[in-house]
Every structure is written in structure tokens, then in C-alpha cells.
Structure 1
Amino acid sequence: METTAPNERELGIGVIGMGGFGLFAVQQFLQTPHTKLVAIAGSKRDEAMVTAKRFGADQLASLDELVNHPDVDLVYIATPPFLHYEQAMLALNAGKHVICEKPLAINPEQGREMIETARQKGLLMVTNLMQRYNPMFARIKHLIDKKLLGEFLHGYFENYAGDEGLSPEHWFWDRSKSGGIFIEHGVHFFDMFAGWLGEGTVKAAQVLTRPGSAIEDQVQATVEYGDDETGKKLVNFYHGFTQTGRMDRQEMRLLFERGDVTLFEWVPTRMIMRCLADEETTRALLDLFPGAQLNVTANVSGKDRPLRGRHKEFDAYQQIEIRFGFGDEKQHLYSELLRLMFRDQVSAIRYPDTHRTIREENGLYSLQTATEADQLARQS
């Protein structure tokens, strides 16, 4: 008779807050072997009822019942930010691992207490910063670290977000519930650039209020990365929740000494690179972005070689454009990132010394950066 190894016994999941995204995420989590949806609490929405029925899970009346359920090992929290601290602490003190949607908490003080409680109890307290599981994230990290286009110089992220689903009464606009745009939404992108460039310092930040209302719908911040020895770099972050849904789009650009990279979507799926390259660099770029479309913009020869920029001299034989990822279905990629994130954390539960791509400190650091930006914007 076959038996399950002790480290691979069935892992029971309890969910607090089963809305549309909660349902989407849980469907991905449950594709991890030896996992089961045990119970749902904190939501009476149709999604919760349907999910409980679909997976044979208990629909519980209280959070206390869920966190004390003997078959629940991990609690997934998909509620508004102001509830994360109370609900996570309830789960941690009941001896349950926790994965919560971003941000970790409404402020760093709460976040530090949550993480310290988890550490003392030997539990996970992880924020779902799934961006780091994106293969595009790793490719850009390699591009920066190996200096394939020279030194990284500057970047921006611009989020032209739709607000059609956010009525004036929605909790998103209530700072006491969301923390504001930097904290509720910006943490993903502060974390992404920290993963590429290391820890940064907020140098400037602004917030704008919609005319005739108290709604804060646009924010921007400038974060400085690096130091005098490695060279300082500035990255600008803009979030505006102002668009009709059909115009919702996101774009980020990274500028290097010999080219630039533009990424599209809030989880980057598509890329356009424009650069000057020699033969060796072109080969390295096409290895990094397999299957990419290569367009030659111009050949560089004769008196035009070598080239100069930033008082440096370098060689190139072509000006090229590389397009990558335009055939990918972005919703399928989002699904895969959720699966990768969850499997990574489950592996750490079963094998505690396992390396994790996202750890507790990622959620706290991104929250600290967002809080710095929010506070500085208010001073301005």
C-alpha cells in the first residue's frame, strides 16, 4: 500500500476573504500536489459559496473557527489591507502559516510585529509579491547584473489604472482601510525595482486630490538606488487611478548606457528593447530572450565605429530592436506566477531550509518604502 511521506502529507488551506481574486488565486494554489481547501470564512459573497461547494470546503461562520480548525495548516488572507494585521495575528497565534495579499499591513509597525510573531513560532508570514516569480523579472535582473547594455542609469513605472470598479464609497479610497495608493498598490513595484537594484531611498513624492472631492487618485515618487561607489540611479513611480477600464495600462522603461528596455502590463509580459550591440552582445541578448523577434534598425560601420557616450568609447555593429513576449497570454502567466509563489512557500513549510524567492522581509521592505513615499507626499 502506498503512503505519503511525512513531509508531503496533505496541507490544509483556510481562506479569509473569498472574492473574485481570492477565487482566482485559490484555483492556482490547489494545483500544488497534496493540498486541500479545508475552510472559508470572512465572506458571504457568491464566490465564497461557489468555491466552498466546488472544493468540498467548510463555509465557517467565524474567523476563530477557521484558524482553530485542526485540518487548516495555512491561512490565505485576501481582504482589504486594514484587516491584514488583525487576521494574520489571529492565525499566527493559532499556530498557522500565513500568506496574505499585498500589502503586508497598513503600516511597518504592524508588519514588524507580524513577522516577529511568525519568526518566534517558526511560521511563514509571506506577502504575495508574485512579480519576482515572473521569468521576465529574472531576465531583466540578468541584463542589469551582467551589464549587457552597459550600466543601468534610470527607470520609470507608469500605471494608468482604471477606476470604473471603484465607486466613491469603495474602501480603496479610504486611507484608514487601504493605506493610500502607495501602500495598497505601489508595494508591488517598489519590490520589483528593489529586487533589481537593491534597497532604495525615497527622495521626493507627491499626491493629488481629485477636484471637488477628497479622493486621492494620483501619486508619484522618486526613489534613489545605489551609492557614490556604484553610481546612484533614480527611478520614478506614478500611479493614477483615473481611466476608463478600456484604457487601463502600465508601462515601465529602463535606460542603460547603450539602449533602453520598455516593459508592458503591471506584471510585465511584453518587452521592446532598442540598443546598439556588437556580435557578442547580440548573441547574449537572443540567448536571454529565446524566440524573440530581432529587427535591424541600422548597420554601424566605417567612420561611425567606435561609438561614444558618457565619455566612454564602445564598439557596435548594429542598431537593433528586440521584441519579446507578444504571443503570451497574460492571464495564463498570472496564473503560473501564483502557482510558483505558492509551491515555493509550501516547499519551505515541508522543508524549512529551502531557499525561497519571496521571504518575509520582502513584504516589510516594500511596505516601508511605500510608507516613506506616502509620508513625504503629505509633507510636500
Structure 2
Amino acid sequence: MLSLPYETLRLGVIGMGGFGLFATQHFLQVPDTQLIAIAGTFREQSQQAARRFKADILETPEELASRDDIDVVYLATPPSLHYQQALLCLNHGKHVICEKPLALTPDQGREMLALAQEKGLLVITNLMQRYNPMIGRVQQIIKRNLLGKPLHGYFENYASDEGLSPSHWFWNREISGGIFIEHGVHFFDLFEYWLGSGHVVGAQRVLRPGSGLEEQVQATVRYENDVLVNFYHGFTQPGRLDRQELRIVFEHGDITLEEWVPTRLKLRGIVNEEQMQQLLDIFPGAGFDISAVYGGPDRKQRGRHQDFEAFQKIELHFGHETDKQHLYGELLRNFFTEQSDYLRGRIDKRRSTEENGLRSLEMAHQASLMAQ
């Protein structure tokens, strides 16, 4: 476990674009965090943020990395810059919080992690999905075996490209790494959080006619216990049609989550009395409908050539009132709080570690190579 000898965590930010500002504002809500300096390319936005938080504006990342009054650097720059900028900061003795992905290639990521370990520093990827209480509730269902074993899953991401002009760096694989690496790492990691380690067994992509831009990708990952999960990402939609759906199918039911930062959940299943009570404990205040009640010999069920008993078939709904943007901010605060507590020596275990950032990058890189 790492330990810092001071009470205030002094933050530097490289890259104060739209998301950099959004995340930084949430990080600074964590007690005893102070913004010291900003180095970035969006000069007007950087200057406005600097005035608000009484921080310095610096011309280059090198100036920021060499400051003695900065402890942690947050990298909110395009993926192709993460490797170089993280090494710069680590070599100046700074902890690094890096936007996803960790780097463009696993070799780069491994070098970053090795240097951080050598120097006793943190280099963590912002995989904030792990801090969503909804994600934790699904994990409890899996751990407690409330719907039987997971069998299959999918994530379908019909994303908007309305704000991504043809010249945006997102489409340039040399800068972004492509859709799997720039965007898909979140979801490879999310299912690994639930299901254990995975490896890619197939992947494809579709290029936009007339432009050659990679606009749609899909992959199949085999997780532990032979659970196959399909991932689809397509950046093709008007903003008003941007939508996502995630599902896990179990032996005795299924769970569906909506939004890429999941805010709503629907559970369908056949359960016994004890399982029903545990579900209500996990989802306090949930609404549920009873589709069927079983008694006598009808309580005996059979699936996968195995017998079990159930007393009713249910459909449970949870979380419909949560605002996605507000939840997103909460996850950023939860992520930064845990990493801060780890740095200060208050905790010795984290939901998201350096290895998670590397593992998600390895899967994304494997999928990207297979798809070409």
C-alpha cells in the first residue's frame, strides 16, 4: 500500500477539454483535494477553469510534471498521448490517473505499469463503471447464485456520432486506437469484473462507405466458466437515438441494464422464497410483478438436465429515477475517493487497480487486431 505524508492531495491536469473539465470538477469535490496547475490545448477553457479554481496555466506538460507542488497528474488527453505523458510524469515522481484507455498498445501499458511499480507510484485508468452501485448489485446476484450460473451476455451500444466530425481525432486510429481501444475497454473490464478473466475469440468491423472510417465493431469474449459475451459498438446514430443495452442470461432468468452508465435494471426469473427475499434486500424499494405462482408438483423445475424448485416467476424493475449525468459524476467522485484513500494509506484494496487498466487494454487490442 502507498502512503503520502500530507493531508491535501495536490492535483495537476493535462488536457482540459470538455471531459477533462467535467471529471476534474468532480475530483475536486473530494475533500482535501486542490487543483494546482493545468496544461492543455483548449486555452480558453483552461483559462476559465484556472480562474475558477485559482490554478496556474502552464504552457507544456513538461512544466507541469516538473512542479514540486503537484502530487498527482490527471491525463485527459487523446489516447496516443497517454504513454508519453504518463512516463514523463512518473519519471518526475508523480502519481498518474489516466483516462481510458491506459495506452494504445499492451506493450506501452506494461512499460507504464513497470515504471510505476519501480518508483512506488500509482498509474491508474479511470474505469469508473466498477463504482456504479447498480453494477455492484448485479455482482451480488452472481456471487450469491440467485439466478443460477451466468450463461451468456451481450452489450449493444448504438452510439451517436453527431458530435464527431469527420476530422475528429476519434476516427484516427493512430490517435484513438480505434473503437475497441478508445471506447470498448470500459465494457471488457465491466464483464471481467463480473465474470472473471476473459479472452477474445472473434471480432469484426465495418467501415463507413466512401470514407473508410471504422464505424461499427463487434467481438465475442469467452470469460471464465465458458461464458460467452457479445459486444457491439456502432457510432452511427443521431444524438436523440443514442442508446445502449446490456444483458446477462442465467440458468433461471436474465438481467437487462439500460444506458452505457447503467441507471435502470429489469430482472426476470424463476425464484424460490429465499432467493426472492435476497433480491429484495439487494434492490430495496424495487417494483416487481408476479407472472406466475407455482405450488405442489409444479414447484419442481428442470433445466440443463438439473432439478430445482421455484415458487414464482417474477419481473423486477429498479432505478428508473436516476439521472445518467448525475450518476456519472457520482462514479467519478467514488473512483477518485478510493484512489485518494489508497494513496493516503487509509485502505489497502481497491475495486479498480493498475492491472484492470492493462487487462482491458489487452482485450481491446486483441479484438482490434482480429477485426482488421
What's the TM-score once normalised by structure 2's chain length? 0.97
Q: Could you give the per-residue CA deviations for residues 163-197 of structure 1, whole angstroms, max 9, x where no partner exists?
A: 00111111101100000000000000000011111
1:108 maps to: 106
- C-alpha offsets along residues 145-165 of structure 1, whole Å, 9 cap, x if unaligned? 211001110000000000001
From 294, 302, 327, the counterpart of 1:300: 294
Kindly indicate whether residue 231 of structure 2 is the aligned counterpart of residue 237 of structure 1.
Answer: yes
How far has the Cα of 1:8 moved from its partner?
Answer: 4.4
Question: Within 2, Cα distance between the matches of 1:136 and 1:7?
Answer: 35
Backbone CA RMSD of aligned residues: 1.4
1:75 and 2:73 matched: yes
Structure 2, unpaired ranges of 5+: none
Report the 3-state secondary structure (helix = DSSP H, G, I; strand = E; otherwise coil) of the residue aligned with 1:13. Answer: strand
Q: Shift in Å at residue 43 of structure 1?
A: 2.2
2:164 to 144, 163, 166: 166
Letter in 1 for 2:25: Q
Shift of 1:303: 4.6
- Counterpart-to-counterpart distance in 2, 1:198 and 1:46: 44
CA contact (8 A) 1:171 1:178 kept: yes
Instruction: Report whether the alignment pairs 1:314 with 2:302.
Output: no
Q: State which of 248, 252, 256 in structure 2 corresponds to 1:258.
A: 252
SS in 1 for 2:13: strand
- Match of residue 44 from structure 1: 42
Pairwise CA distance, 1:354: 2.0
Give the aligned partner of residue 61 of structure 1: 59
Q: Distance in 2 between matches of 1:240 and 1:304?
A: 44
Give the Cα–Cα distance (whole angstroms) in 2 for the partners of residues 133 and 8 of structure 1: 26
| Partner residue of 1:223 out of 217, 221, 224 | 221
Secondary structure of the structure 2 residue equivalent to 1:222:
strand
Inter-partner Cα distance in structure 2 for 1:355 and 1:303 = 48
Confirm or deny: 8 A CA contact 1:7 1:351 kept in the other structure.
no
In structure 1, the partner of 2:136 is 138
2:43 and 2:202 mapped to 1: Cα distance?
41
Determine the C-alpha separation between the residues in 2 that align with 1:244 and 1:180.
20
Write the letter of the residue equivalent to 1:305: R
- Does residue 275 (structure 1) correspond to residue 269 (structure 2)? The answer is yes
Aligned partners of 1:205 and 1:219 also within 8 Å: yes
Shift of 1:305: 2.5
Distance 1:56 1:225 in 2: 47
Alignment-derived partner of residue 368 in structure 1: 362
Q: CA deviation at 1:302?
A: 4.1
After the TM superposition, which of the residue ranges 350-359 and 79-88 deviates more from structure 2? 350-359
Query: Is the 8 Å Cα contact of residues 19 and 45 (structure 1) preserved in structure 2?
Result: no
Q: Given the two structures, how large is their TM-score scaled by the length of structure 1?
A: 0.95
Q: Give structure 1 stretches of 5+ with no counterpart.
A: 1-5
Secondary structure in 2 matching 1:166: coil
Once the two structures are TM-superposed, the CA of residue 267 in structure 1 deviates from its matched residue by 1.4
| Amino acid in structure 2 at the alignment position of 1:168 | P
- Distance in 2 between residues matched to 1:161 and 1:329, nearest whole Å: 18
Aligned residue number for residue 90 of structure 1: 88
Counterpart CA distance in 2 for 1:278 and 1:196 is 23
Deviates more, 1:345-354 or 1:108-117: 345-354
In the TM superposition, what is the alpha-carbon distance from 1:7 to its structure 2 partner? 4.1
Per mean C-alpha deviation after superposition, the further-off stretch among 306-315 and 72-81 is: 306-315
Q: For residues 175-231 of structure 1, give each alpha carbon's deviation from its aligned partner in whole angstroms, at most 9, with x where no partner exists.
A: 0000000000000000001111111111110011011111010000000112xxxx4
Larger deviation, residues 104-113 vs 350-359: 350-359
Count of aligned pairs: 370
Asked whether the 8 Å contact 2:341–2:347 carries over to 1, the reply is no
User: Which residue is 1:3 aligned to?
Assistant: none
Q: Stretches of 4+ moved more than 6 A in 1?
A: none
Residue 81 of structure 1: CA displacement?
0.3
